Amino acid sequence: MPTLKAILDPFITMINSLPKVALGPLIIIWMGANMKSIIFMALLINLIVTFITILNGFQNTDQDKIKLFKVFGASKFDIITKLIIPSSRLEIISSLKLNISMSLIGVIMGEFLSCKQGIGYLILYGTQVFNLSLVMCGIFILLLLSFIFFYLINLLDKKLVR
């Protein structure tokens, strides 16, 4: 839908350019200082980048293959599920890999702003009391979580290739 894309593209770019952390106080006011605000912060950071990346993958699908599917009588659902999504697999997987770090940033920033528990709080508290062990422990846990999520996404990718 090129018209819809032309209308929404400037707004998506503007929303993406906002520093999501600056919206943190508003999110806390709207949702409260709880787990919901942390999850919302992580989703807000990921949503636009993921949308743009996957949309570009969909748009880069070979138009000749789409025409071929139409000639053979494929429905729009078949074209999407059997051609567009599989041909965009690399963009989807790279978006998921990017989302690992972005989600962790969102969660940590949400915990910095509104919580008294979690890895972000551990790092912030360790910084405030000059306890380098707490800070390094929090960073190590983040690295371990990133590795686990990256490994799971690679397993998913290998399973999809089969």
What residue spans define the domains of the chain? 2-115
Q: Which residues contact 93 (CB under 8 A, 6 or more apart)?
A: 153, 156, 157, 160
Angle between helix 35-59 and helix 24-31 axes, rounded to 10 deg? 120
User: Which pTM was predicted?
Assistant: 0.71
pLDDT, tens only, 11-50? 888 887 877 777 878 888 888 878 888 888 888 888 888 8
Tokens of 153: 């996404």
User: What pLDDT is recorded for position 1?
Assistant: 65
Contact predicate 153/93, CB 8 Å: yes
pLDDT, tens only, 74-123? 898 998 888 988 888 888 888 888 888 888 887 887 777 777 778 888 88
Between 68 and 101, name the one with better pLDDT.
68
Contact predicate 145/104, CB 8 Å: yes
Which is nearest to 51 in space by CA: 6, 83, 99? 99
Q: What span, in angstroms and rounded, lies between the C-alpha atoms of 84 and 114?
A: 40
